[in-house]
Chain A
Amino acid sequence: MAAFTLEFIVGHVNYWLFTVLMMTGLYIVVAKGNLVKKIVGLNVFQTSVFMLYISMGKVTGGTAPIFPTDMQIDPDTVYSNPLPHVLILTAIVVGVATTSLGLALIVRIQEQFGTIEEDELLEIEKAMAAEDTRLHGEAMGGLA
């Protein structure tokens, strides 16, 4: 177990901040009934994960990993880690693709059921299932 010195706390407070943001997003996804709100929560969660990754790639005193255009690289310059940047670039674009797909599904749900609230959707679904069971029972001639 690491000792809680001031240096340790200052060095880790960024991770804790991003964890708090992540949990805020997760709370929105779990607790809110509106589907658009859930997508926003998912976005908040996603962006906090991006921030966590990018903060891992930061080197103190470093600069953005871009060389001078004449390629005369000063060996003393410290560059931050480019790999998290690459991964997160990919993740942002994939993230917006999934967001748009989710929003399109919401539009479809609204069109089909007339609501995007989770509670009302569950109720409609329950009513539909009960209706199906009743019809099935009638088709079996009361044997089912």
Chain B
Amino acid sequence: MLVMTALAIVRTRRLFATAMLSGVFSLLSAQLFVVLDAVDVAFTEAAVGAGISTVLMLGTLALTGRVEKRSTHSPFLPLLVVGMTGAVLIYGTLDMPNFGAADAPAQTHVSPDYLERSPHEIGVPNVVTAVLASYRGFDTLGETAVVFTAGIGVLFLISALRRRRETGDSGNDRKGA
């Protein structure tokens, strides 16, 4: 179903449908995260990916156009590049451990340590919360810094737009210069 949704995004040229399909894609992936035991990630993906992203995209579509123009380029070169990249990536997965293997390197290095220590060091039942807020607190601080910077950037870009609208400047002065 995920693959079908992704292919539908490729095919459709109505951008409203594209935005909705990307929301569907996020929601489906959130369900997959629940199946893969990552409930916190599923929460975030459903709220942020399916919710906020879709709203932002619809807001952008309201300010721009709704229909995508047909591309004039031939799709063969992108298909070739994409096919080659995919082939290399799949070749890379051949050395990966089997899905769900308990003796995979990812499972045997530091994560048992976290699982063992967090009950008596942090005392929070949810290990993801304990690692996120305590062991990797600086990481989360950096993340908030990134979000803050992005927020400032968006505010600057949008506020410049509003200012020019108020002064009556159409803003399209360079079009076809």
Residues of A within 8 A of B (CB): 1-2, 7-8, 10-17, 19-28, 30-34, 36-37, 39-41, 43-44, 47, 50-51, 54-60, 62-69, 71, 73, 78-86, 88-90, 92-101, 103-108, 110-117, 119, 124, 127-128, 131
Contacts and interface: CB of A to CB of B under 8 A. Distances in A.
B105 to A, nearest CB: 10
A132 B160 CA distance: 25
B85 A65 contact: no
Interface residues of B, number: 97
Interface of B: 2-3, 6-7, 9-10, 15, 18-19, 22, 25-26, 29, 32-33, 36-41, 44-45, 48-49, 52-53, 56-57, 59-61, 63-65, 68-69, 71-73, 75, 78-79, 81-83, 85-86, 89-90, 93-102, 104, 106-107, 110-111, 114-115, 119, 123, 125-128, 131-132, 136, 139-140, 143, 146-147, 149-151, 153-154, 157-158, 160-161, 164, 171-172, 174-177
Q: Is the interface of A mostly helix, strand, loop or mixed?
A: helix
B164 to A, nearest CB: 8
Given A19-B86, A68-B125, A86 B44 contact: no
Nearest to A66: B126
B114 A82 contact: yes
A23 B90 CA distance: 11
A39 B176 CA distance: 25
A30 B171 contact: no
A36 B150 contact: no
A97 B25 contact: no
Contacts of B151: 97, 100
A39 B85 CA distance: 20
Given A108-B161, A113-B175, A81 B10 contact: no
Contacts of A20: 3, 86
A39 B49 CA distance: 13
B3 A88 contact: no
Nearest to A92: B44
A65 B115 contact: yes
B65 A116 contact: yes
B9 A54 contact: no
Q: Interface centre among B3, B64, B97, B176, by most A CB within 10 Å?
A: B64
